[in-house]
Chains A and B, each alone.
Chain A
Amino acid sequence: MTLWWIGNIILLVVILPVVVYLLRGVLEAARSIVPTVGEIATTARAGSKDLDSAALLLTTQDQVARTVAGVADYGTSLDVIVDDAEKEPV
């Protein structure tokens, strides 16, 4: 009978507080993750939005190709109308 009461006291004084303490720690840790995940989601959305203009790189590539082609035509014309430099003495 005495042991039973001792067991009850241990149950109420030791085991219950330990269980509550541990579970409360897990809950607080889980709650602290939620806002961080929200910020990460916001950042990911913003990063995705920033990359909307990445599709314009195709236009940039086309423009660069045209520009280089124009430069090539211009260089070819210059090659025809401008004399070459005299060869430097060796």
Chain B
Amino acid sequence: MAAAGVVMIIAVALIVLALVYFLVSTILELRRIADGLDEVIAGVGEIVEKSEPVNGIVAAINEQLDAGVDLLEGLLVKKAGLSDAVGLIDGLYPGAAAAGLRNFPESTGIDPPRIGEVYTKGTLTLARLGREAPIAAASPSGEVLRNVEGGSLAARSLYPSVRHQSPENLPRSPVIGADAPVQYEQRDDIGAPRKRLPARRP
């Protein structure tokens, strides 16, 4: 009976030791997890705090940009007309005419005139200043009035000519120095005493 009791005590002691070891280890790991979660909560708290005003600010920025878009769209349509405005936008951003103007839903049904191939941006603006230019009068069914690739040269004719028309390339300055392709001989009289002319007789 004594041997059986000792064995039972040993077995119970082993079970208690296993419980203590594993439970203490688990407690330590859970404490590490709790510490890590504290760091996570601190970081998430900072994220929430820093991102709190973002929605309001972005909404305000969008409102201001909407107002700007409304203003520019209205001005463009007022000055150029809906058809030319759509053509201008499509010339600057090909394919954008399909989306149309935001405040003018009827603009999506307009066949955009080929303003972008006829006039440059500056030409269009200048042509509108002070007079009503027949922008894209022959478009969209007529011939293109000007080559697209030559657009920048055509626009230059609107400004006073300084160097860009003729000649295109001005002659370059001569190259001097020891490595110059053309070497100029040194004159002997440079640095020599001045020649004395014979005295004139009165």
Interface residues of B (CB under 8 A from A): 1, 4-5, 7-8, 11-12, 14-15, 18-19, 21-23, 25-26, 29-30, 32-33, 36-37, 39-40, 42-44, 46-47, 50-51, 53-54, 57-58, 60-61, 64-65, 67-68, 71-72, 75, 77-84, 128-132
Contact = CB atoms under 8 A, between A and B. Distances in A.
- Give the secondary structure class of B's interface: helix
A85 B74 CA distance: 12
B81 A82 contact: no
B22 A34 contact: no
Interface size on A, as a range, is 35 or more
A23 B82 CA distance: 78
A55 B54 CA distance: 8
Interface of A: 1, 4-5, 7-8, 11-12, 15-16, 19-20, 23-24, 26-27, 30-31, 33-34, 37-38, 40-41, 43-45, 47-48, 51-52, 54-55, 57-58, 60-61, 64-65, 67-68, 71-72, 75, 78-79, 81-86, 88
A30 B116 CA distance: 68
